[in-house]
Amino acid sequence: MGALDGIRILDLGWAMAGPQATRILADFGAEVIKVESRARPDMARTIFGPRVGAEDINNSGYFNNFNRNKLGITLNMSRTEGRELFGRLVAISDGVLENFSAGVMRRWGFDYEGLRAMRPDIVYVSMAGLGHSGPYEHYQTFGPTVQALSGLTHQSGYPDLPPAGWGYSYMDHTGGYTGAIAMLQALFHRRRTGEGQHVDLSQVEAAVALTGAAILDYAVNGRRSTREGNRSAWPPMAPHGVYRCAPQADDPIGDDDWVAIAAETEEQWQALAAVLGQDAWLRDARFATLEARLAHQDELDEGIEAWTRGRSAQDAQRVLQDAGVPAGRVQRSRELYDDDPQLAHRGTFPTVDHALLGRHRVDGMPAQLSRTPAEFHRGGPLLGEDNAYVYGELLGIGPEEMARLEADEVVW
């Protein structure tokens, strides 16, 4: 039994943020019906990769990862009859979630009022980049835009270099997590009171919320925010960095093996010095106290890297952790998926079957519920894979009518 068994979500999510939100609901057992059309398939099928094998609308591994556990239907929303069918689906659903630009749902007649006319207690979560009101309501974003605008990009990188930003759409993931939270709290409220709601989620606002104490520091102390590479002003730690290790023969990029090391306590600092054979550092005026180390981080980092350069990141991690020093290899997805024993122990990447791609691992659910754990029972849907079930069984549309709807490019 899944925790969300019996809950049906109509999913108009596309690209990543919306699908990320609904995949969490699907993992916990909600029946998520993903709505696409041949005229406008999810761009995750066509633009986001990798796509595997021969050209096919169903060959995206990316799509599979973010849409496993979901049902898929085709529905042409540009047709009047398509919008009527959508209304019938709303009437039998508990929630609707979308991450279109603001205004798209309104044009179809399915803003909150329109949805509520079909289902009075519907929960509607919209996830536009900048929300559904305000002067930038119609601005368009994808993950990197959200990260740039919010301040997250500004906070990432070295202070003497331009921002490094994020090497992936952190805010598509995290906007999706916030969308799932918004949907769950709304469903909880509805279960207790019978009342539905519209959640207007702005991904940029969700991102600004994650900039730590930066805004308070400006408001209270007048200090502008900055970036600090891999160092840590708060809490103050030194060393606190990422160090180059010995090149590995199987390194796919070459000389790109790194280990992160942080000493949070005096005890860990002493253990680090001992492992590195640098007991003299403990008496060195540059390093003897935390204050001194913070003032001499460049020299300290050089000394540490002289040691890490002589061994693999894996060895450095093991030797340091054995001595009680926080350390971790900078793991690539190769290591996450294939090497890391802790992630493997937790079953972090479960396997699903996809009708075209076959058996593949997907990103699993890191919150493990003891009685109603997430379950992984199918891969992402082929385009329109579940038309027969959704239109036939759920809406009771007969085969002749289905044939007509397909011929008229309504179910299409």
Partner 1 sequence: MSARALDGIRVVELADAWGEWCGKLLADMGAEVVKVEPPEGCASRRVGPFAGDVAGPERSLYFWRYNTGKRSVTLDLAAAGDREALRRLVAGADVLLESLPPGEAGALGIAYETASAANPRLVHAAVTAFGQTGPYVDAAYRANDLIIMALGGPMQACGYDLEDADVAPVRAGPYHAYHTASHFACIGILTALLERETSGRGQFIDVSAQAASAVTVEFSNTYWEYARQVTRRQTGRHAFPRQTARTQYMCTDGRAINLAIPFDGRAYGRLVRYLREQGLGEGLADDAPDDPLRRLAEGSIVLGALEVLAARHSSEELFHIGQGMGFTWGAVRAPEDWLDDPHARARGFFVEIAHPELDRTVPYPGASFKSTATQPRIDGRAPLLGEHNHEVLGNTPA
Segment 345-364, which members bind partner 1 (CB under 8 A)? Answer: 345-346, 348-349, 357, 360-364
Binding mask 371-390 for partner 1 (x = CB under 8 A): xx------------------
Q: Per-residue string for binding with partner 1, 197-236, x by CB under 8 A?
A: xxxxxx--xx-xxxxxxxxxxxxxx-xxx-xxxx-xxxxx
- How many C-beta atoms lie closer than 10 Å to residue 93's C-beta? 22
For partner 1, the closer of residues 292 and 343 by Cβ is: 343
- Burial (0-12, 13-18, 19+ Cβ within 10 Å), 35: buried
Alpha-carbon distance of 225 to 211, in angstroms, equals: 9
Asked if residue 54 binds partner 1 (CB under 8 A), the reply is no
Smallest distance from the beta carbon of 207 to partner 1, in angstroms?
9
Nearer to partner 1, 274 or 343 (CB): 343
Cα 6 to Cα 26, 198, 378: the distances in Å are: 11, 21, 18
Q: Which residues contact 162 (CB under 8 A, 6 or more apart)?
A: none
Q: Return phi, psi of residue 266, to 5°.
A: -60, -40
Helix (H) or strand (E) holding 181: helix 170-193
* Minimum CB distance to partner 1 smaller for 74 or for 268: 268
Whether residue 239 is preceded by a cis peptide bond, meaning omega within 30 degrees of 0, is yes
Under the binding rule (CB under 8 A), the answer on residue 194 touching partner 1 is no
Closer CB to partner 1, residue 322 or residue 408?
322
The H or E element spanning position 343 is helix 341-345
Whole-angstrom distance, CA of residue 378 vs CA of residue 29: 12
Phi-psi region of 165 (alpha: psi -120 to 50; beta: other; left: phi over 0): left
Site membership for partner 1, residue 115 (CB under 8 A): no
Nearer to partner 1, 193 or 280 (CB): 193
Indicate whether 411 belongs to the interface with partner 1 (CB under 8 A).
Answer: no
Alpha helix (H) residue ranges in 2-93:
17-27, 43-46, 61-67, 80-91
Give the span between the Cα atoms of 372 and 40, in whole angstroms: 35
Q: Is 97 in the site for partner 1 (CB under 8 A)?
A: no
Q: Rounded to whole angstroms, how far apart are CA atoms 122 and 107?
A: 19
Active-site residue, selected from the candidate residues 172, 257, 301, 386: 172
Reduced to 3 states (helix: H, G, I; strand: E, B; else coil), residue 274 is helix
Mask: binding to partner 1, 279-308, rule CB under 8 A, as x and -? ------------------------------
Q: Does 49 bind partner 1 (CB under 8 A)?
A: yes
Does 270 participate in binding partner 1 (rule CB under 8 A)?
no
Contact 270, 288 (CB under 8 A): no
Amino acid at position 2, single letter: G
User: Can 255 be counted among the known catalytic residues?
Assistant: no
Asked if residue 56 binds partner 1 (CB under 8 A), the reply is no
Confirm or reject binding of residue 40 to partner 1 (CB under 8 A).
no
Q: Of 304-343, which residues contact partner 1 (CB under 8 A)?
A: 321-322, 324-334, 336-337, 340-343
Q: Please identify, using beta-carbon distances, which residue of 61 and 384 lies nearer to partner 1.
A: 61
Taking CB under 8 A as the binding criterion, the range among 32-40, 43-51, 102-110, 390-398 that sits at the site for partner 1 is 43-51
Site string for partner 1, 120-159 (x = CB under 8 A): ----------xx-xxxx--xxxx-xxx-xxxxxxxxxxx-
List, by residue number, the catalytic residues: 172
